[in-house]
Structure 1
């Protein structure tokens, strides 16, 4: 059951959507977590990817970016190794399922 979380004045800032029906969802999440752990050790990390404006944790971004002074949208760029690792994650079945659920 979707559950909204709101500020004291009633402004909703997040909705907890739960998880899909079915007993296999835990296995999907576990497989995704394991794939992240395996992939993390195969990436190269710059200091700015270890500590950044979102916190002190490893992060690589992928996809299309627009903003921060850019005059047109563009694909985020990585070194050859990290780009290959990100492509593996995007193509991984567990992440495909999670993305499909999140996008409705």
Structure 2
């Protein structure tokens, strides 16, 4: 049952992202403006919540990505992805569409 629920949730999220990509690419300016008014707030809230769950502990380890038995710091993929998507991606590359990392042979 958990597997079915997980697959359903993942499909719904991917479908919503695909829908937003379509709107950004094909919608008129008024629709894009309305979309920005709502979706940007939702996305920034989602990023903040996700990053809070991956905030490093006093030893610099991500509690979600670091196994307690490992010594040293484990690089948190969530923070690397956030930096890549929000900060470092200034070269104008298109980063839209389902599984864009995998299609390009990249990892998040």
- Pairwise TM-score range, normalised by the shorter structure: under 0.3
Instruction: Point out the structure with the larger helix share.
Output: 2
TM-score normalised according to structure 1 size: 0.28
TM-score normalised according to structure 2 size: 0.27
